[in-house]
């Protein structure tokens, strides 16, 4: 085999290890990049860019799908393995933080809605109490009945 085929094999193996979440030379957390594949394969600085066919046809589509799945899991707040994408500890913490932020936002909105509802109910209660007071005053004035004394009988 030629040196080019050996290097392509190393790059492909490095990409597979990164996708499976078990790299040997780089950290398993985060998104996959061409530089990460290059370092995992043990190649020199930016050596992967000499293999334009591999980068364009094989690496970029696989990187894109992996990173999209990873971003979707993190944005949705999932902390479990899904579709072959396993989250690292850092990614799990990011997902949990995102989930907490979503819940806090939801709870704040519910709290604000409850405060507005309470203010409206208090206003309605005050207006009803005032109307009751007015009606009681009207009934006292209009229904005053004079009682005849015993002397008049």
**Tens digit of pLDDT for each residue in 28-75?**
778 899 999 999 998 888 899 999 999 999 999 999 998 888 888 777
Domain assignment present for 96: yes
Residues 6+ apart with CB under 8 A from 85: 21, 66, 69, 70, 73
Tell me the angle at which helices 60-76 and 89-142 cross, rounded to the nearest 10 degrees: 40
Count: domains in the chain: 1
pTM of the prediction? 0.55
Backbone torsion region of residue 2, taken as left when φ is above 0, otherwise alpha when ψ lies between -120 and 50, otherwise beta: beta
Using CA atoms, how far apart are residues 96 and 100, in angstroms rounded to an integer? 6
Domain assignment present for 78: yes
Q: How would residue 86 be classed by pLDDT, with cut points 50, 70 and 90?
A: low
Domain assignment present for 24: yes
Using CA atoms, how far apart are residues 149 and 118, in angstroms rounded to an integer? 52
pLDDT at 122 over 90: yes
Cα–Cα separations (whole angstroms), residue 134 to 114, 127, 130, 145: 30, 11, 6, 20
Residues 6+ apart with CB under 8 A from 30: 36, 88, 90, 91
Structural domain boundaries, residue 83: 3-103
Domain assignment present for 149: no
Please calculate the CA angle 56-59-65 and round it to the nearest 5 degrees: 110
Domain assignment present for 23: yes
Domain assignment present for 83: yes
């Amino acid at each position: 085999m030629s040196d080019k085929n050996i290097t392509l094999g190393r790059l492909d193996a490095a990409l597979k290890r990164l996708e499976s979440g078990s790299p040997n030379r780089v950290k398993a957390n985060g998104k996959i990049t061409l530089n990460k594949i290059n370092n995992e394969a043990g190649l020199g600085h930016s050596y992967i860019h000499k293999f334009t066919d591999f980068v364009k046809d094989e690496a970029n589509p696989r990187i894109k799908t992996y990173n999209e799945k990873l971003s979707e899991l993190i944005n949705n707040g999932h902390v479990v393995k899904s579709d072959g994408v396993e989250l690292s500890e850092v990614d799990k913490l990011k997902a949990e933080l995102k989930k907490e932020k979503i819940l806090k936002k939801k709870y704040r909105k519910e709290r604000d809605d409850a405060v507005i509802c309470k203010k409206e109910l208090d206003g309605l209660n005050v207006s009803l109490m005032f109307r009751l007071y007015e009606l009681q005053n009207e009934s006292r004035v209009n229904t005053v009945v004079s009682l005849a004394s015993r002397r008049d009988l």
